[in-house]
Structure 1
Amino acid sequence: MGGPVKFFFLVIAAAAPLLSAAQHMAKPQALWINNATLHGNSVMRFTLITDLIRGEEEYFAAGFVCATTPKCDVYLFAVFIVFGFYNSSGKFLVLEDASREVIWSANRDRPVRENATLEFTSDGNLVLHDADGSHVWSSGTSGRSVTIMVITENGNLVLSDQREATVWQSFDHPADTMVPGQSLLQGMRLKAYTSPTNWTVDQFYITVLPDGLNAYYAEGTTLPQLYFSFQTKIGKIANDPTRATFMDGSLSFMLGPDRIENITFPVAHSTWPVAQYIRLDKHGYLGLYEWSKGERSTMVYDIMGSLGMDACAYPTVCGAYGVCNGGQCTCPLENNSSTVYFKLVDDRKPNLGCTPFTPVSCQEIQHHKLLTIPNISYFDYSHTALNAASIDDCKQACLKNCSCMLVLFRARECVWVTKVFSLHAIQQENVGFDSPVYLKVQLIPSIFAPNANRKKVMLAATVGAVTTLVLLLIAVTLYIQRRRKYEEKDEEFDFDKLPGTPTRYSFEKLSECTEGFSKKLGEGGFGSVFEGKLGEVRVAVKRLEGARQGKKEFLAEVETIGSIEHINLVRLIGFCAEKSERLLVYEYMPRGSLDRWIYYRYNNAPLDWCTRCRIILDVAKGLCYLHEECRRKIVHLDIKPQNILLDDNFNAKVADFGLCKLIDRDQSKVVTMMRGTPGYLAPEWLTSRITEKVDVYSFGVVIMEILSGRKNIDNSQPEENVQLINLLREKYQNNQLIDLIDKHSDDMVSHQEEVVQMMKLAIWCLQHDSIQRPSMSTVIKVLEGVISIQTFDANSLGFVQENPSTYSVPSQTSILSGPR
């Protein structure tokens, strides 16, 4: 969290209904607005606070806290510790120079702005909306007889029913911090923040296992890698989940009746009063922290270190390829060699890691080499393992596979590492099981040329470099001249002559309406999207990046969307074309893209069955219009949840036509280069001869994602479950389609028969043979109950295309409105 933020005395008026007689309690139909009307200031604004009068001491409070420093422009709804006291009149005063320590927050990946609202609804749901009305987070307790919200003495935000039974509590959804009295149940995680001013979830997390604690590091799509494990000395009995509870002075593991093991901490040594808590920080350290009034929060006890964790054994302690030796960071050197293959990323900050002088290229696999780095331990040996009879076999296997970047041979097992993090140098007296590692590098001709020809090679390289430089200068000059001519010609191009062209705006006008492109909604495959306002109409302005979409693609999108109009297609309001600037103005879709509602990245409430059905039907109608009702067939080519936008009532519209292809009615197929997003591409893309049925295949993938609440290709899943369509094939063969239903929603489970039927429609759309797939008009008839679903053998499902290197467009989101 951030360090102390200074501010003046804060007096909370006793007349406030939630901060006087019942400061720790609220009832339904309460509404708080994040502005000056709340008690507090720009740093923290209170909604609830513990009300025990115990003198000058730390208190737990809930409210809006500043998420950035020094400028408070976004906030989190959070539970936090604050130092203060109640005076004789019952007013709460925050101590001067006091700060706050956040211990829990709602959807920390999505801070809110001034005038955001927190509502405790009449049906018992706690809901957070941003200032623009977009949904940010909810407790999901609607209709569960919640009658009261309290914040307990130990900082637990609790929603209870009329029998005072807990319906929801913040302790069940931990962030990066544990406070005394809080427990981590088996399977729960503490997840580190990225930095004190970046509240998004970092790659480190720690979780409770049946017999201890495990800590992992997972970057991007890489599989989680274990870097710390604590196994309890006493064995687990019974089937009850293991519970790790933080009490003053210890972390207790309850493994069964009367079976408790404690990790004991030192007692608080700071000036009273003092707050203690456990936190997982951005570097992966699990520490005991103390914080008292007038002082900074400091780690007073290294929990992992006390359990045998070496300071050099953390995954990112010295950055990628960095070697940690006694707390010092250096770059790896080959044994008995003076050749240097790596350099520091920043000479002044060795802990940022190293980078190879020559990046490893898959096109030059014959010039790969494995360096022998002695006396090295790597934090994780479980990433990829193969059977190998010897070290030489292990090394040869790595050299033949471009994804292998580091290899170890341990206990007759060949361990591959595909992404190299920090390396741990070990003392020679401890060398044995952990030494050495073999690190892949890319050779260059000057290194592997024979000594007799070294001078010739160097001379040839010099001449080649000079020639290349001259040619490059000529090419740049010609490009600049051609670019100037292009811009002059482009200025003369009369866009208004395009049939059905929407309103043309000046760049100045769109810059003004978006407040200088300051309110970024998201980033798409060809540019960024900003919120704007034309008069009283909210719009989404897509600013295209010239290097990623040229005039051809721009005209395709303007001509295509400008000439069509359908309730299930996002409406193009206008455009701008000035010199190299290309902008498109779309209608604003307040609930953003579909992916944020089905992947559960924002703690949003699950969609009910009826809403999902309506979204599927809306998308089908939009595609049917493109395929069958336009003068020329329009194939979208990039159907995915990120390109399906939702209005206030969850009506769906298809968006982003930057990749679309027009097909004449007398054409059966067209030839085009591969384009789209990995995971949604039909098998026939391998031949580059496609029809509108590629959209039907993508639509089938989207149906399965909507019904299962997960991505088609999800590397966070176990290896056998990574690909949803392959899993669908297996479940269909075994008559277990119910297993794929989104378990986040009780409503989905209660409609399991209808959901299974919808999955069978998806299977029809996912046929490997495009001729066997239904048209979108047929899909609509199935959804409306006019015709029945055809059944197929599970083996006829199309396979998943997932190699992004073969696509013409990066796998990025394409969003027109709504935060991502």
Structure 2
Amino acid sequence: MRAPWICYCFGLFLILSCYSTTAQTPFDYPTANLSTTWKNTESLPHSINFTDGSRIRAILLRGSFGPKFACGFYCNGTCINYLFAVFIVQTNSGGGIVQPSIGFPQVVWSANRDNPVSYGAMLNLTASGELVLQDVDGSTVWTTNTNGKSVAGLNLTDDGNLMLFDDSSSMVWQSFDYPTDCLVPGQRLFQGQQLIPSVSSTNWTTQKGLFSLQVTDKGLFAYVGANPPQVYYSISVSRNDTNKGRRYVRFLNGSLSLFILSDNPSEPDAVISIPQSSSAQYMKLMPDGHLRVFEWQSGWLVVADLLNDFLGECNYPMACGRNGLCSGNQQCSCPVLSSPRIDYFRPVNDRQPNMGCSEITPITCNDIRDQTFISLENVGYFNSIADMEKVDIETCKQACVNNCSCKAALFRYGSDSSSGDCYLPFELFTMMNVDPNVIHRNASAFIKVQNVRSPPSASTSRSSQSNLGVILASTIGSVFFLLGVFGFLFYIIRKRRQDAQMEEESIGEVPGMSNRFSYEEVKTATENFNKKLGEGGFGAVFEGTLKDGSKIAVKCLEGLGQVNKSFLAEVESIGSIHHVNLVRLRGFCAWKSQRFLVYEFMSNGSLDRWIYHGDRERVLEWNCRKKIILDVAKGLAYLHEDCRQKIIHLDIKPQNILLDSDFNAKVSDFGLSKLIDRNQSQVMTTMRGTPGYLAPEWLSSVITEKVDVYSFGIVLLEMLCGRKNFDRSQPEESWHLLSVLQKHWEHGMLLDMIDKYSEDMQTHGLEVVEMIKVASWCLQYDYTKRPSMSTVVKVLEGVMKVESSLDYNFTHPKLQNTVFEYDKDMTPLLASVLSGPR
């Protein structure tokens, strides 16, 4: 009678022994209470190293036996840097995480992929209900911003959603609202959200400015980053529905479906089929632009490449890299002028032709006579959008000649080349050989290239020689005079170099100084300052990449005496402070008389790109705008009230508010900021800032932190109305936004001010009107009647009400009609960008 039981136990032992677990105490723990802290060390219950080089330290685990969701710290490769992430792991029947040789952890969401933390970092679920990730130096890397929102605990759901809930088990915050590069079954991707791939499997940094997948009011679109972004895949809305609901796609078992958020969301607008699965699946936007579905089948396998049926390998924008030509079975080559044969491009990597091609001689705009086209027949492009329609080939080519930014003229036509579609890309990705009989259209590509000027002819040389004697004769008389001038200049230059060297050496003694980079490090990171992102008030900003793979923005300060003043102001202001809503200063470089500030890179650019009608990339939804407004308010409240010295920014405007990949807002550009002691209530200083955002008290030159509150009010009003404070495109009586605000207050018509291009904001009209009242409170003429920024934060979080007794006289003729003479401390309204390209 004992034999069957013995066999059963032995069989069960064999099953469990197929897995080798290193967890000391098996557990199944999907929730956590407030006031819980986890430290990224081996002391966590599940600290496991895998043979692929990855390592996890799980804090929550959902379910047992099979592929299940867990969350905690994750690393791969050298394991110097860690993510706080949700990942799929293999578990045994006891709830222990195991180590199959092919079932490595699969990250499906991460909080800090652009800001990884170190060993010993802390994750804290505070008593006030905020989940906060801090690095070992105590700096806040990431937070849910849920302080004071009645959070009762943390839960990792069965479908992999990390959720903060309240006493009634209602959701307060969830990771599904902040997708990274993956979707899991049941997850929705709404308008305003996007999937952005990481650089690679070991470099999780957001691949900014390249691929993205997002939902618009017209359907599902995959973009390749450019200026403007180019569509390489789309599913348009299939029916002409009058329903104006918010659209989303949902990953279901067997499909990726496009819905309208309405009363009857069960009928999808469009469906992409996916193989049905009885096991774990997830969908991931890959670094090469593919959208792949992974499934656990005794190992993680790719079971679907969702865009391939439509695109094919050559139709992906980076199939053969930038400027590459794809043919056949993804055979990559560089464009070449065939008659006579001239090579204008060379492979970026001879051994990897799919890396793309680089120009041998870069395009310059000085003389279009030195430019020509490489003509390629039967060559198509993934982008089907036309800049010009019903034009001939010559018109298309000439339009490219006349536009310095144009890289090529791509022409598509039917049987008659005198009438076709013309597309002029500013950034040229992979082109492909096409068969006109298959695509039923003709396609030609004319790639703009730069010729090298020929040397002068022999006759020209003889003519030059005949004039040489005259030139020499006229020059000799000036030699002695020039020697004297050069001697004087040599003395001045040597004196300045000595002064610059002494100044450079003294910079290291500045309080609050952060990491110092060498000039060579900055030059290498920016590829010799090759990719210019924009212009700020004190110089240009360049994109760069450090050796560890992290993206940076380098501000090169320009000018004379003002350089050090701005440089020291920024370093002293934020060099030693850290806050999630302030742009992080990674370090600095002082080389001779040049000064560079190295910041974290912000992929979604400055706020002005997103809020002004006609200038913005897309319309931000109301919840996203609310989040940005709260982020800016928290950043200013920290500067005003929580630092050792009070910091007044003095130049708050949309161009100085930057957005990361998740549209978290951060205040930037502290070149005009002022540090004052806490016992000072006000300070006297010269007028500085940007016209249109200056508070009335600037006319007296005696200011307090309330000037930032006023500027915040202007920015808030611009966000709510979707227009600039001063806009000549409006009727003359509406040029000044504050005049419009005053009239609408007087007539009780604040609803009419709401951004008319945002249907979502119109839907939340009453809530937006309450926010206009917050802006009005910040814009009081008497600065003593304006709220502090901490009070604004409390109002935005619903803890306090807006002051009911407000002065509705917002127009200040003295300030509006003043013609400002820019002094050294004033910045014109330029694009202060530490971010992606415009």
Same fold (TM over 0.5): yes
Alpha-carbon shift at residue 738 of structure 1 (Å): 5.4
Structure 1 distance, partners of 2:384, 2:540, is 39
Match of 2:428 in 1: 420
Unaligned runs of 5+ in 1: 1-7, 462-477, 497-502, 529-543, 571-575, 589-593, 627-634, 644-649, 659-668, 671-675, 684-691, 712-719, 762-777, 815-820
**Secondary structure of the equivalent of 2:59?**
strand
Residue of structure 2 equivalent to 1:369: 372
Q: Quick check: 1:74 aligned with 2:74?
A: no
Say if 1:460 and 1:607 are closer, same or farther in 2 by CA, change over 3 A: farther
CA distance in 1, matches of 2:357, 2:395: 28
Structure 1 position 169, deviation (Å): 2.3
Structure-to-structure mapping, 1:310-389, within 5 angstroms: 310-326=312-328, 327-334=330-337, 337-382=340-385, 385-386=387-388, 389=391
Deviation at 1:83, TM superposition (A): 1.2
State the Cα distance separating 1:292 from its structure 2 match: 5.3
2:196 corresponds to: 191
Q: C-alpha distance in 2, partners of 1:651/1:231?
A: 34
Q: Which 5+ residue runs of structure 2 have no aligned equivalent? A: 1-18, 50-54, 413-418, 465-486, 527-537, 543-553, 583-587, 600-604, 611-622, 659-664, 674-685, 693-700, 742-751, 789-805
SS at match of 1:300: strand
What SS does structure 2 have at the residue aligned with 1:752?
helix
Letter in 2 for 1:58: P
Distance 1:793 1:362 in 2: 44
Deviation at 1:426, TM superposition (A): 0.8
Counterpart check, 1:791 vs 2:812: yes
- CA 1:791–1:182: 2 relative to 1, 3 Å: same
Verify the 8 A CA contact 1:334 1:372 in the aligned structure 2: yes
2:153 maps to 148
Once the two structures are superposed, the pairs formed by residues 383-398 of structure 1 within 5 Å of their partners are 385-386=387-388, 389-398=391-400
CA distance in 2, matches of 1:64, 1:96: 20
User: How far 1:493 sits from its partner (Å)?
Assistant: 6.1
**Given that residues 404 and 418 in structure 1 are in contact (C-alpha distance below 8 angstroms), is that contact kept between their aligned partners in structure 2?**
yes
Contact 2:89 2:97 survives alignment (8 Å): no
8 Å contact kept, 2:656–2:667? no
Per-residue deviation at 1:617?
8.1
CA root-mean-square deviation: 6.3
CA contact (8 A) 1:110 1:602 kept: no
What displacement does 1:394 show?
Answer: 2.7
Q: Structure 1 residues 231 and 335 mapped into 2: Cα distance closer, same or farther (>3 Å)? A: farther
What's the CA shift for 1:400?
1.8
Please, which of 594, 603, 607 is the counterpart of residue 630 of structure 2?
607
More displaced 10-residue stretch of structure 1: 169-178 or 422-431: 422-431
Question: 1:4 — aligned with what?
Answer: none
- 1:50 and 1:558, CA in 2 relative to 1: closer, same or farther beyond 3 A? closer
SS at match of 1:393: helix
**1:228 Cα deviation after fit:** 0.5
Matched, 1:31 2:37: yes
Structure 2 CA distance for aligned equivalents of residues 338 and 31 of structure 1: 67
Find the aligned partners of 1:286 and 1:27 in 2 and give their Cα distance.
37
Q: Distance in 1 between matches of 2:165 and 2:332?
A: 51
C-alpha change, 1:244 and 1:204, in structure 2 (3 Å) is: same
In 2, Cα distance between equivalents of 1:708 and 1:548: 31
Q: Is the Cα contact below 8 Å between 1:525 and 1:812 reproduced in 2?
A: no
Aligned partner of residue 313 in structure 2, secondary structure: coil
SS in 2 for 1:363: coil
CA 1:624–1:36: 2 relative to 1, 3 Å: closer
Is contact 1:322–1:353 with CA below 8 Å preserved after alignment? yes
Name the CA distance, whole Å, in 2 between partners of 1:154 and 1:563.
46
Deviation of the 1:304 alpha carbon: 0.8
- 1:38 partner letter: L
Identify if the C-alpha distance between structure 1 residues 432 and 796 changes in structure 2 by more than 3 Å, giving closer, same or farther: farther
Q: Which among 210, 231, 250 is matched to residue 245 of structure 1?
A: 250
Instruction: State how 1:639-718 maps to structure 2 within 5 Å.
Output: 641=656, 655-656=670-671, 703=712, 707=716
* CA-CA distance at 1:159 after TM superposition: 2.4
Q: Is 1:122 the equivalent of 2:142?
A: no
1:439 CA drift (Å):
1.9
Whole-angstrom CA distance in 2 between matches of 1:460 and 1:428: 54
User: Which of 727, 752, 769 is the aligned partner of 2:772?
Assistant: 752
1:470-549 equivalences under 5 Å are 489=498
Q: Distance in 2 between matches of 1:292 and 1:368?
A: 55
Where does residue 60 of structure 1 map in the other structure?
Answer: 69
Q: Which residue of 2 aligns with 1:406?
A: 408
Residue 234 of structure 1, CA deviation: 6.8
**Residue 139 of structure 1: how far off its partner (Å):** 2.6
Tell me which amino acid in the other structure corresponds to 1:45. Answer: R
What are the residue-to-residue correspondences of 1:574-593 with 2, within 5 Å? none
Query: How many Å apart are 1:301 and its aligned residue?
Result: 2.2
For residues 752-772 of structure 1, give each alpha carbon's deviation from its aligned partner in whole angstroms, at most 9, with x where no partner exists. 2241465698xxxxxxxxxxx
For the residues of structure 2 that align with 1:623 and 1:145, how far apart are their CA atoms?
30
Measured after TM superposition, the shift of residue 279 of structure 1 is 1.0
The structure 2 residue matched to 1:206, chosen from 213, 217, 224, is 213
Tell me what 1:537 maps to: none
Is the 1:608–1:745 contact (alpha carbons within 8 Å) kept by the matching residues of 2?
A: no
Indicate yes or no: 2:223 matched with 1:216. Answer: yes
Q: Are 2:441 and 1:436 equivalent residues in the alignment?
A: no
Summarize deviations over 1:289-330 as a string: whole Å, max 9, x none.
23456x5x4423221112x21211111221221111120111
Aligned 1:280-291 pairs, distance under 5 A: 280-291=285-296
Match of 1:159 in 2: 164
Match of 1:49 among 34, 49, 61: 61
748 and 601 in structure 1: CA distance in 2 versus 1, 3 angstrom threshold: closer
Partner Cα distance (1:364, 1:82) in 2:
60
**Kept in 1: contact 2:726–2:737 (CA 8 A):** no
Find the residue that maps to 2:321 and give its secondary structure: coil
- Provide the residue aligned with 1:265 in structure 2: 274
How far the C-alpha of 1:285 sits from its partner, in A, is: 0.4
In 1, the alpha carbon distance for the partners of 2:591 and 2:145 equals 50
Cα 1:259–1:457 change in 2 (3 A) is: farther
Deviations 1:198-221 (A, max 9, x none): 2222221112356752211124xx
For residues 653 and 631 of structure 2, the distance between their equivalents in structure 1, rounded to whole angstroms, comes to 26
Contact 2:714 2:779 (8 Å CA) reproduced? no
What is the rounded CA distance, in whole Å, between the counterparts of 2:709 and 2:365 in structure 1?
Answer: 34
Aligned partners of 2:561 and 2:248: how far apart in 1? 60
Cα separation, 2, equivalents of 1:257 and 1:560: 54
Q: Is the 8 A contact 1:79 1:102 kept in 2?
A: yes
After superposition, the Cα gap between the structure-2 partners of 1:705 and 1:367, relative to the gap in structure 1 and judged at 3 Å, is farther
Q: Once the two structures are aligned, what percentage of the paired residues are identical?
A: 26
C-alpha change, 1:23 and 1:324, in structure 2 (3 Å) is same
Matched with 1:471 is: none
Q: Distance in 2 between matches of 1:131 and 1:385?
A: 51
Supply the distance in 2 between the matched residues of 1:395 and 1:37 (Cα, whole angstroms).
66
Specify whether residues 388 and 29 from structure 1 end up closer, same or farther in structure 2 by C-alpha distance, changes over 3 A only: same
> CA separation of 1:143/1:563 partners in 2, compared to 1, >3 Å: closer, same or farther?
closer
Structure 1 CA distance for aligned equivalents of residues 571 and 307 of structure 2: 60
State the Cα distance separating 1:641 from its structure 2 match: 3.9
- Shift in Å, 1:147: 2.3
Per the normalisation by structure 1, the TM-score is: 0.62
Q: Given residue 375 of structure 1, which amino acid in structure 2 is its aligned partner?
A: N
Structure 1 residues 445 and 309 mapped into 2: Cα distance closer, same or farther (>3 Å)?
same
Distance 1:746 1:409 in 2: 49
The alignment's TM-score, normalised by the length of structure 2, stands at 0.61
Is this contact kept in 2: 1:86–1:92, CA < 8 A?
A: no
- Select the residue among 304, 308, 319 that pairs with 1:305: 308
